Amino acid sequence: MTNGENSAVVRVDGLRKRYGDLEALRNITFEIKTGEVFGLLGPNGAGKTTTIEILEGLRQPDGGTVMVCGMDPSREPDALKQRIGAQLQATVLPDKIRVEEAINLYAGFYQHSASREMLLDRFGLVEKRRTYFENLSGGQKQRLALALALVNNPELVLLDEPTVGLDAQVRRDIYGLIEHFREEHRTTLLTTHYIEEAERLCDRVAIVDHGQVIALGTPRELVRGSGKGTRLEVTLAQPVAPDRLKKLEAVSDCAEVDGKYILHAQPAAAAVAALLRFLEAEGNSLLDLHIAPPTLEDVFVEMTGRRMEDA
């Protein structure tokens, strides 16, 4: 690899892209350092896929500068493709292509390739090597997509929503594979709208909304900078208007989500005591209480006024 430790594999400065009247990207700026897992976190339509497609050389920007592995994707797309690996949102292969045939086909596109046997073993596809693509499960297709993204042993791996549509167990399996990229010091860009995914996998995160980076840092830094305070997840025996809970001592806000009440409080002990007094006076009771630090979801809500799933 040509990049030194902690040098930037990706540099994006003032990136802009418009589709007719839609301004998809508005002055996007970030860097990705060698060996880190960097996340673009945001709701659907935030501009994440457009950004990653420009980095791959699949789309031309309308403004700004982009450097990937020391190259401009719009000027040197062929050379760049030798040094990056990409998994798009949907991997479309012929139904009747076998797993090992797909790996061999992709390997033929590059000057250098990783061991086919290693890829089959690493991504749990040895027993599926002769299986047609159409007969793979959703999780197996995604593992094959990741194997194809690494077939040229790339310096940079670009993963666009790699776990969307997968069940919880398969998603955790994919997490393990991506965490292994970090152990190899392989630079990875991950787009996602899953909060848990970004918090678990990413060394640093850029939160994107309406084509803009609204926050950038490690998950811990972003959460620490939030003014929300401790997060209380409360389940009550009887429903209560969230506005009433918001008025409790030390509580800064309250929202009802899927039958639970999400309160933010500082200090938490004072809020819990006030909640118990309130419930006793109301003849209500506490069924469950979970206390946790704020999440990246809380950061997003604080900066945009809405939940990511509602954006």
Q: What is the pLDDT of residues 132-142, one digit of tens each?
A: 999 999 999 99
Mean pLDDT within 185-208: 94
* Per-residue model confidence (pLDDT) at position 21: 93
Ordered alpha helix ranges (H), 47-159? 48-55, 77-81, 99-107, 116-122, 138-149
Domain coordinates in residue numbering, the chain: 8-223, 230-293
CA–CA separation, 235 and 239 (whole Å): 9
Q: What is the pLDDT of residues 31-45, one digit of tens each?
A: 999 999 999 999 989
- Across the strands, what pairs with 6? none
Q: What is the pLDDT of residue 311?
A: 61
What fold is seen in the domain 8-223?
Rossmann fold (3.40.50)
- CA end-to-end span of the chain, whole Å? 39
**Could you give the CA distance from residue 192 to residue 190 in angstroms, rounded to a whole number?**
6
User: If pLDDT is split at 50, 70 and 90, which confidence band does 2 have?
Assistant: very low
Which among 189, 166, 180 is positioned nearest to 54, based on CA atoms? Answer: 189
Smallest CA-to-CA distance from 292 within 248, 232, 234, 249 is with 232
d(CA 155, CA 145): 17
Average pLDDT over residues 8-20: 96
Assess if CATH 3.10.20.30 describes domain 230-293: no
Q: Which residues pair with 12 in a beta bridge?
A: 30, 66
With the C-alpha atoms ordered 94, 97, 100, 102, is the resulting torsion angle positive or negative? negative
List the alpha helices (DSSP H) in 21-129.
48-55, 77-81, 99-107, 116-122
Check pLDDT > 70 for residue 289: yes
CA–CA gap between residue 102 and residue 266 (Å, rounded): 55
The arithmetic mean of pLDDT across residues 174-187, rounded, is 91
Strand (E) positions, the chain?
Answer: 8-19, 22-33, 37-41, 63-68, 84-87, 156-160, 187-192, 204-209, 212-217, 230-236, 251-257, 260-265, 286-292
**Cβ contact 234:260 at 8 Å:** yes
Phi, psi of 6 (to 5 degrees): 75, 0
207-257 pLDDT tens trace: 999 999 999 999 989 988 776 778 899 999 999 999 999 999 999 889 898
Tokens of 280: 């006793």
Contact 80, 73 (CB under 8 A): yes
d(CA 157, CA 7): 16
What is the pLDDT at residue 293? 81
Which residues lie below 8 Å from residue 307, measured CB to CB, with a gap of 6+? Answer: 257, 297, 300, 301
